[in-house]
Structure 1
Amino acid sequence: MTEQYQNEALDLLVTCPKGIEQLLEGELIQLGATPGKTTVAGIYVSASLETAYRLCLWSRLANRVIVILQRASMVDTAAQLLSAVTVVPWAEHIAAGKTLAVDFHGRSEHIRHTRFGAQTVKDGVVDAMALAGAERPQVDTKSPDMRLYAHLHRSNLTLGIDLSGESLHRRGYRLDVGHAPLKENLAAALLVRAGWQARAKAGEPLIDPLCGAGTLLIEAALMAADQAPNLNRRRFGFHGWAHHQQAIWEELQREAQARASIGRKRCKSALFGFDQSPAALSAAKANAMRAGIPALITFHGQGLPSLNARKVWHRNQVC
């Protein structure tokens, strides 16, 4: 691993749903990153490799964590895009035998389709690898070893490697989605905005009268138990990166597992979910089980008109 990635701060872009950038900034600071410029649905930050891993593991609000490798201006044509991509030393980042996919966002007067933009970026990567005498990487749009990020806006290109891989809001527990599903990081944002983390430490209860598949309650339980949202996720984008440091990652995982084990035992908050749909309750229970916090949430098959949350709360307190 080069000293650049071992000892120096990385230039990162952390993306999120629009409207929660301010909440994300506070979270990034808590996790050890140094925020810089805020954009629509994203924040540029400076962080060590360890902190970048920590963001992937612990961020409840982010979508993606991207290592920026190239910023270029006056990029309008395919030739200019190709040139900007080719100068990046991709052979240092993509190991032999690894597959890749390109996520291209934006457009220009001459680049009007994201598929064409992605194809051009891929061609530039292949050209750079060939010039370096490295093995040509294969494309896998469904399950690549690495995801490359390219964003073109007003002739400015931002190019990097997506350390998260699949979006971080996909924690892995929500296989049963139910009706009108709420994304996990949006649920977390609602809880952060409501001050749930401090309320959970104080032992306050949380009641969701229309819990559906349980996303809001599960995110609340993860917070109350001090469990990293992506603790049970097996693969991230950095696993396919040539500069990945497995020892650093494993230490962070051990730390998170220890915190979750203690947190689940110390959790003082009672969480209740109500829904009149048997299918929704079944999905919520299955999702809570996969998230590893089924004992922290009590589900009830009860519709909103007949809901008496106070009575349920007191009954459970007595029990």
Structure 2
Amino acid sequence: MGITDQDTSAISGVAVVPPGLEEAAAAELTALGCQAGPPLRRAVRFQTNLAGYYRLHLQARLPFRLLRELASFPCHSRDELYAGVQRAVDWGRWLPPGASFRVDATGSAPGLNHSHYSALQVKNALVDLQRQQWGARSSVDLDDPDLALHLHLGGGAAALSIDGSGASLHKRGYRAAMGLAPLKENLAAGLIALTGWDGSVPLADPLCGSGTLLIEAACIALGRAPGLGRRFGLERWPDFNPQLWQQEQEAAAALARETLPCGKALAPIVGMEQDAGVLEQARSNAKAAGVAEALDLRQGDCRDFEPPPEPGILVCNPPYGERLGGGLGGGEALESLYADLGRMLKERCSGWSLWLLSGNPELTGALRMKASRRIPISNGGIDCRWLHYEIR
């Protein structure tokens, strides 16, 4: 993307993403007009302009947060951090005493090995400077600050960034009701992206829970931008451009459609859930996301699942064990569930492709199926694999 007349400054940023989705996130940022750097651990560096940064907040599905770098400087000690923060930018513009702020920190430097202490050093540098210059200081607001600062230490340098997101970007706003241990929306979107599903063949989830995988898939296929209808931290920044923001909002809203980009109808999206209450949550969430008409959500046991006649892609996030087992009982009941699921798939879903999120290799073995791909993914801190099977 070129720099426009309304937007004369380049922005260096970091997208914070779920572990395992770094490459997929880099591809998404590139598709949205950014220059994405090589994937890092849980992050992707990018270059864009103000319009592009706004676009990412409205359209990017995979990041948790989109950090915008304000300044970087050498940092080999606590004193160097303190002085570097005070010189970093024009704080009279970015953080006047009437504005609230919060500081988060990652990484380490000599004498700065604890993130809480590093964040405290940044806070002290700022409020000391404010008292010296204006005789007043900003308040700290951990929940809803006017400016959310992020410090990263490493390699003898400090990078000071601001978080444009406000609340985490995975919070789309459609999921007021959640089932047990749900997938975060951005992780679900990333898992769907890894399957390569594009809406042209059926998509089914025989254990759909509160529907997040299927809802995110439908939103992708039908161009429902994830960031519309919510507030962002960047709207309180001193360089916020309302006209540019409105243009990007209108462009994001214009992507919504009722068919695939080629004009063909969306293939069937089918989900099955045994628990009537959880199924009602899924239907409520789909309605709030604007894709209820695209989803066929049925009540029933996965053992009785009947797929659409045309082969497509199955996605599944079955329970992994004690933490996520819910009402399905202990290990024996879960092992039986996986064995029955494997049997059903082989009997009724020949020609389909299955993607299953596994947090327990022993349970996955009960499927009696051989995975052709194993992609490492972290789900809520649990080490998982996004497993791909071709069902013969």
Q: Tell me which interval the TM-score lies in, with the shorter structure as reference length.
A: 0.7 to 0.9
Q: Is the 8 A contact 2:205 2:272 kept in 1?
A: yes
The letter of the residue matching 2:240 is H
Once residues 132 and 31 of structure 1 are traced to their aligned partners in structure 2, the CA distance between those partners, rounded to angstroms, is: 41
> TM-score of the superposition, structure 2-length normalised?
0.72
Once residues 58 and 126 of structure 1 are traced to their aligned partners in structure 2, the CA distance between those partners, rounded to angstroms, is: 35
Q: Deviations over 1:60-117 (max 9, x none)?
A: 111211111122233332x222112111222222356322111212334523432222
Once residues 73 and 154 of structure 1 are traced to their aligned partners in structure 2, the CA distance between those partners, rounded to angstroms, is: 9
Q: Is the 8 A contact 1:61 1:185 kept in 2?
A: yes
Instruction: Tell me the secondary structure at the aligned position of residue 120 of structure 2.
Output: helix
Once residues 129 and 4 of structure 1 are traced to their aligned partners in structure 2, the CA distance between those partners, rounded to angstroms, is: 33
Aligned pair 1:136/2:132, yes or no? no
The corresponding residue for 1:81 is 81
Once residues 96 and 205 of structure 2 are traced to their aligned partners in structure 1, the CA distance between those partners, rounded to angstroms, is: 47
Aligned pair 1:287/2:276, yes or no? no
From 301, 304, 312, the counterpart of 1:303:
301
The letter of the residue matching 1:195 is G
Q: Is the 8 A contact 1:170 1:184 kept in 2?
A: yes
Once residues 263 and 71 of structure 1 are traced to their aligned partners in structure 2, the CA distance between those partners, rounded to angstroms, is: 46
> TM-score of the superposition, structure 1-length normalised?
0.87
Once residues 50 and 224 of structure 2 are traced to their aligned partners in structure 1, the CA distance between those partners, rounded to angstroms, is: 21
Superposition deviation, residue 165 in structure 1: 1.7
Instruction: Tell me the secondary structure at the aligned position of residue 10 of structure 1.
Output: strand
Superposition deviation, residue 261 in structure 1: 4.9
The letter of the residue matching 1:237 is G
Distance verdict in 2 for CA 1:107–1:302, change over 3 Å: same
The letter of the residue matching 2:245 is W
Distance verdict in 2 for CA 1:23–1:305, change over 3 Å: same
Superposition deviation, residue 264 in structure 1: 8.6
Q: Which one has the bigger helix percentage?
A: 1
Distance verdict in 2 for CA 1:134–1:24, change over 3 Å: farther
The corresponding residue for 1:260 is 256
From 223, 236, 241, the counterpart of 2:237:
241
Q: Is the 8 A contact 1:102 1:121 kept in 2?
A: yes
| Aligned pairs for 1:8-87 within 5 A | 8-77=9-78, 79-87=79-87
Q: Is the 8 A contact 1:145 1:239 kept in 2?
A: no
Superposition deviation, residue 155 in structure 1: 3.9
RMSD: 2.5
The corresponding residue for 2:220 is 223
Instruction: Tell me the secondary structure at the aligned position of residue 111 of structure 1.
Output: coil
Single out whichever of 248-257 and 150-159 deviates more from structure 2.
150-159
Aligned pair 1:114/2:115, yes or no? yes
Once residues 306 and 293 of structure 1 are traced to their aligned partners in structure 2, the CA distance between those partners, rounded to angstroms, is: 25
Q: Is the 8 A contact 1:5 1:243 kept in 2?
A: no
Distance verdict in 2 for CA 1:309–1:263, change over 3 Å: closer
Superposition deviation, residue 192 in structure 1: 0.9
Single out whichever of 99-108 and 268-277 deviates more from structure 2.
99-108
Once residues 118 and 296 of structure 2 are traced to their aligned partners in structure 1, the CA distance between those partners, rounded to angstroms, is: 49
Once residues 27 and 184 of structure 2 are traced to their aligned partners in structure 1, the CA distance between those partners, rounded to angstroms, is: 20
Once residues 109 and 37 of structure 1 are traced to their aligned partners in structure 2, the CA distance between those partners, rounded to angstroms, is: 27
Once residues 145 and 269 of structure 1 are traced to their aligned partners in structure 2, the CA distance between those partners, rounded to angstroms, is: 44
Q: Deviations over 1:165-199 (max 9, x none)?
A: 22211212222221131111111111111112xx3
Once residues 97 and 129 of structure 2 are traced to their aligned partners in structure 1, the CA distance between those partners, rounded to angstroms, is: 14
Superposition deviation, residue 21 in structure 1: 1.4
Q: Deviations over 1:237-260 (max 9, x none)?
A: 101211111111111111222221
Instruction: Tell me the secondary structure at the aligned position of residue 75 of structure 1.
Output: coil
Q: Is the 8 A contact 1:91 1:128 kept in 2?
A: no
How many residues align structurally?
305
Aligned pair 1:177/2:178, yes or no? yes
Distance verdict in 2 for CA 1:99–1:5, change over 3 Å: farther
Paired-residue identity, %: 33
Q: Deviations over 1:112-142 (max 9, x none)?
A: 4322222221122223444554963221101
Which 4+ residue blocks in structure 1 deviate beyond 6 angstroms?
Answer: none
